[in-house]
Amino acid sequence: MNSTYQHNASGQDAVPIASTGRAHALRRPLFNRLLASRAGNVLPIVAASILPMAGMIGGAVDMSRAYMVKSRIQQACDAGVLAGRRAMQQTNYSTAAQAQAQDFFDINFKEGYNESTDVVFNTTNPSGSSRVVGTASTVVPTTIMGIFGKESIPIEVECEAELNVSNSDVTFVLDVTGSMNDSIPTGSGGSIVKITSLRNSVMDFYDTLAGAAVGSNTRIRYSFVPYSTNVNVGELLYDTNPQWLSGGNVADSWDYQSRRPIWQVTSTTTEVDYQTYGVNINRSKCTSYGNNQDFDQGGGWNFRPDPEANPVVSGNTTTTYAPWTWGGVAPSWSGGGNKSCVRRRTRETTTVTQSPTWQAGATFAYWEYLQRNYPTYDLLRSIKTANPAVLLPTQTNGSTSRWGGCIEERQTIAGGNIAYSGSTGITVDGSGNAHDLNIDMVPNSDITKWKPYWQDVYYRRDGGRSTACPTKSRLLATMARTEVQNYVNSLVAVGGTYHDVGLLWGARLASPQGIFQSTVNAPPGNAGTVGRHMIFMTDGELTSYDFVASMYGTEMLDQRVTGGSNNPTQLERQRRRYLAICEAIKGKGIRLWVIAFGTTLTTDLQTCASSGSAFTAADSGQLNTAFQNIAKQISELRLTK
């Protein structure tokens, strides 16, 4: 056999390379030689590696199954505590809330998943906290690992959920019109008055946010704007700056559609004169005149009228005749002969005059209906009980009156094209001079001031009157539960449904750029930002009346919104106004929630709401659910473990 030779560096004889390789191989350890051998050793090697390979592959399979079970049971645990915390009322983790947590866990993890057994899920609420803490466990049997004595893998997970709320300002714009006195189903049998249901739902809303804020320094503030055909914001304005109102100055006054009394004064003038009616007349004939007897003095002259014509009435003058003397001799007459007879004529003339100004002796005649100008300085101050009431000019009995706090809006434009844009605000027929729709303008002139709505003096020309003034509005403030309860208990249902009125003043109370910005922008006392929310609840569609004294006066007479035109109608103009106000509110970064209570969630109401923020409630139970859903969305429900 031929060999390849290699020479070494020392010059020694060359050694065949193949021979050198075999010698080197013989010097290696046995195991290495066995591995390197190609002479029939594969089978023993494979046999020796089966068990290690089975352990590795089987362990991977079993651990993969265990990981899948752990992942699924962790998800179920998380879902359970989230559901339990959402169902929890404040810090009361009720049996119902625990059942809700269990239901959500059971839906998300079924015993037998990947042959799991002994599934256990427990939840608790640590005392004084707003958390729900849970643990879940199960056992997963192994497949291949059982060969090595590992027959099952226990799995345990922990989970925790907490409902937190960031700093939040919530403005309630609440429809408190007359229909809120109607009853509505509860949803579980029976019925309840709408306004009572509203009170209950607001309190549950308060409790939900209060529970979410437990254990934190979160600031939650509330403001309220109950509305009908008007809003009661006068005292808020007066307390902030009386100069924002007509009546801030002594000489201020305002025109009201009203009435005044017309007084009647009767005066009588009396004239007395004497007439000779007979010369050379016998006394008996002279005195017979006093006995209502007629006589002739010759020539057929009948001097005295018929007895039944005495006195004589002509127009407003009454003439009375009476015998006076006979020959200058006073009664009782005496003497003889014939003398002259004299009679006394008394004429009484009655004059009746009418005047709106009372004077001594005057009596009431009738009411005159017209627009009247009344001073407002003392009226404005009468809102404070420490100040005197004012004389009521529409009564005749000297009664007095006080300003109740509702207002007439400042100057507007009677236009039909109402629109909002972020750059120009709300315009009417392209003009920005509709001061009533300017949310943020601070009054600086008479036309930009609000006027006191004097509920006691409004009258129509037919003598009728329709007025409404709801409960006083509240500025943003932190409120204890008893404060909120007392406030909602004070709500009364009165008047018609003017959405534009409520939303306009909701915007003014909530605007960070507006007349109450010092309150709105007050620092929360922590490092967090402030979320701004407005909850607009109504139980009816927008209404419009021209005969009601509203925030715009009496429209049929004042024509502040329509200008006397019916194209578009008053209702359509108010509709456009409220939709423009909705857009302005959202343009301020305020989330606008809408609830239609016992009424249709119209396209307009849906358009008014922020995205995903409109609800309908057919009964009191659904109203409460709507308020709860809003509260829970305002809160942040999150996993903390």
Residue range 402-448, pLDDT digits in tens: 999 999 999 999 999 999 999 999 999 999 999 999 999 999 999 99
Domain boundary among 140, 165, 190: 165
- Same domain as 634, residue 528: yes
Tell me which residue range forms the domain holding 48. 43-165
Element spanning 324, H or E? strand 317-326
- Same domain as 583, residue 436: yes
Asked if the structure places residue 5 within a domain, the reply is no
Please confirm whether the linkage preceding 154 is cis (ω < 30° from 0).
no
Q: From CA 633, how far away is CA 168, in angstroms rounded?
A: 12
| Count of Cβ atoms closer than 10 Å to residue 326 Cβ | 26
Residue 538 DSSP code = E
In this prediction, residue 39 carries a pLDDT of 55
Task: Let me know: does 186 contact 619? Beta carbons within 8 Å.
Answer: yes
- Same domain as 147, residue 172: no
- Same domain as 192, residue 55: no
In this prediction, residue 333 carries a pLDDT of 65
Query: Which residue in this structure is represented by tokens 């010698």?
Result: 23
In this prediction, residue 336 carries a pLDDT of 76
- Same domain as 141, residue 89: yes
In this prediction, residue 350 carries a pLDDT of 94
Q: From CA 251, how far away is CA 158, in angstroms rounded?
A: 74
Alpha-helical segments (H) within 193-320: 194-212, 234-240, 283-288
Kindly state the tokens that stand for 616. 């309908």
Report the DSSP pairing between strands 363-375 and 253-282.
antiparallel
Domain boundary among 165, 182, 198: 165
Q: From CA 401, how far away is CA 383, in angstroms rounded?
A: 10
Asked if the structure places residue 288 within a domain, the reply is yes
Task: Let me know: does 623 contact 197? Beta carbons within 8 Å.
Answer: yes
Asked if the structure places residue 321 within a domain, the reply is yes
Q: From CA 205, how far away is CA 192, in angstroms rounded?
A: 18
In this prediction, residue 50 carries a pLDDT of 54
- pTM here? 0.74
Task: Let me know: does 341 contact 326? Beta carbons within 8 Å.
Answer: yes
- Same domain as 141, residue 173: no
Nearby residues of 205 by Cβ (< 8 Å), 6 or more positions away? 627, 628, 630, 631
DSSP annotation string for 274-309: EEEEEEEEEHHHHHHTTTT---B-STT-B-SPPGGG
The closest of 262, 277, 479, 496 to 370, measured between CA atoms, is 262
Residue range 554-592, pLDDT digits in tens: 999 999 999 999 999 999 999 999 999 999 999 999 999
What are the backbone angles phi and psi of residue 70, rounded to the nearest 5°? -65, -40
Asked if the structure places residue 119 within a domain, the reply is yes
- Same domain as 480, residue 463: yes
Where b means 16+ CB within 10 Å and e means fewer, 492-520 reads: bbbbbbbbbbbbbbbbbbbbeebbbeebb
- Same domain as 627, residue 495: yes
* C-alpha torsion angle, residues 328, 329, 333, 339 (rounded to 10): -40
- Same domain as 307, residue 189: no
Asked if the structure places residue 316 within a domain, the reply is yes
Kindly state the tokens that stand for 174. 């609440």
The closest of 259, 234, 255, 230 to 468, measured between CA atoms, is 230
Residue stretches of the chain with pLDDT short of 50: 1-25, 31, 49, 289-308
Please confirm whether the linkage preceding 44 is cis (ω < 30° from 0).
no
In this prediction, residue 147 carries a pLDDT of 64
Asked if the structure places residue 174 within a domain, the reply is yes
Q: Could you tell me the CATH number of the domain that includes residue 558? A: 3.40.50.410
The domain total for the chain is 3
Report the DSSP pairing between strands 363-375 and 338-355.
unpaired
Kindly state the tokens that stand for 539. 């139980």
- Same domain as 133, residue 176: no
Kindly state the tokens that stand for 461. 């020309």
In this prediction, residue 12 carries a pLDDT of 45
Asked if the structure places residue 6 within a domain, the reply is no
- Same domain as 407, residue 287: no
Report the DSSP pairing between strands 317-326 and 338-355.
antiparallel
Asked if the structure places residue 505 within a domain, the reply is yes
Q: From CA 614, how far away is CA 259, in angstroms rounded?
A: 45
- Same domain as 494, residue 442: yes
Domain boundary among 117, 144, 165: 165
